[in-house]
């Protein structure tokens, strides 16, 4: 089976860069995948993509060495299994509140006898290889998002979930949970301390911790703090930033 670069880097003690796809288009996915990210995530929760968009976007990503990841919209086994069958090598599950929910997410990502995933890797076997079914349990990465009050209260139990590879911090919803205005790259001391608490709990449990960032500078700081994966930017945010930069420069030079 095609090895999972995320796991390879983690096993080597290295951090992983993650890009984000908010726009549902194969060309956008291909262009982003060619920029050098270790992994790239199709966002079904807050992006414009639907499940029908996942296959062509994963096909576009698969032209490169970038690892295809999908954030599902909800902790729903059928959607998780479908994303995996289409070729996702990593699954991000939002709004995980307790160990039971974390275990349900893991089970949907693992074939029996470990989990409950149904056998039918319609595209995954062509991407992953003929021995996909025999080895998928060891290669697929499953990440549970910690971003709610209940999730924080059950942090240690979630991190101890057998088969869970990582916890993923959603900074905006985490801000809600802490009574703060939602934002990315939140420098609030309470938010920073909570993220470090999540990081420590993950590492204590022997799993990885991921930080969702909005800028390279904040992502670099997260790497220095010990985070194992950082989401650094998205297709949409790059497009907006690039357009604004050019327009601002144009207006300044023609004022």
What does the block give as tokens for 135? 């080895």
Point out the catalytic residue in the list 25, 46, 191, 212.
46
Give the model's pLDDT for residue 249: 98
- Furthest C-alpha separation in the chain: 68
In this prediction, residue 70 carries a pLDDT of: 99
What are the pLDDT digits (tens) for 85-103?
999 999 999 999 999 999 9
Q: Which whole-number Å values give the CA distances from 62 to 31, 33, 40, 128, 129, in the listed order?
A: 12, 8, 10, 10, 13
Token digits of residue 100: 């039971």
pLDDT of residue 173: 98
> Quick one: pLDDT at residue 143?
99
Residue 140 is predicted with a pLDDT of: 98
Q: Is the four-CA dihedral 177, 178, 180, 184 of positive or negative sign?
A: negative
What is the model's pLDDT at position 164? 98
CATH homologous superfamily, domain 5-253 = Phosphoenolpyruvate-binding domains (3.20.20.60)
46 annotated active-site: yes
Q: What does the domain layout of the chain look like in residue ranges?
A: 5-253
Per-residue pLDDT of 124-134, as tens digits, reads: 999 999 999 99
Residue 210 pLDDT: 98
pTM above 0.75, yes or no: yes
Residues of the chain with pLDDT under 50: none
The whole-number pLDDT of residue 72 equals: 98
Q: Please write down the HEC assignment for all residues of 57-93.
A: HHHHHCCCCCEEEEECCCCCHHHHHHHHHCCCCEEEE
Q: Which of 159, 170, 169 is nearest to 206 (CA)?
A: 159
The predicted pLDDT at position 18 comes to 98
């Amino acid at each position: 089976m095609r090895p999972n670069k995320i796991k390879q880097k983690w096993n080597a003690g290295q951090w992983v860069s993650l890009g984000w796809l908010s726009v549902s288009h194969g060309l956008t996915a291909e262009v982003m995948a060619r920029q050098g990210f270790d992994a790239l995530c199709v966002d079904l929760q807050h992006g414009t993509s639907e499940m029908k968009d996942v296959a062509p976007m994963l096909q576009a990503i698969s032209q490169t060495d970038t690892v295809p990841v999908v954030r599902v919209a909800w902790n729903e086994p059928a959607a998780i299994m479908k994303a995996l069958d289409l070729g996702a090598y990593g699954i991000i599950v939002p709004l995980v509140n307790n160990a039971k929910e974390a275990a349900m997410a893991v089970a949907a990502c693992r074939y029996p006898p470990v989990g409950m995933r149904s056998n039918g890797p319609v595209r995954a076997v062509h991407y992953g290889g003929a021995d996909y079914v025999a080895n998928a349990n060891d290669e697929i990465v499953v990440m549970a998002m910690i971003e709610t009050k209940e999730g924080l209260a059950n942090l240690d139990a979630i991190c101890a979930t057998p088969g869970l590879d990582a916890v993923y911090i959603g900074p905006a919803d985490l801000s809600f949970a802490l009574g703060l205005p939602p934002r990315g790259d939140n420098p609030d001391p309470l938010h920073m301390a909570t993220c470090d608490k999540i990081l420590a709990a993950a590492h204590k449990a022997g799993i990885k911790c991921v930080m969702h960032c909005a800028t390279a500078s904040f992502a670099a700081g997260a790497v220095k703090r010990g985070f194992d994966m950082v989401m650094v930017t998205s297709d949409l945010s790059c497009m907006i930033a690039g357009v604004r930069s050019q327009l601002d420069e144009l207006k300044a030079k023609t004022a």
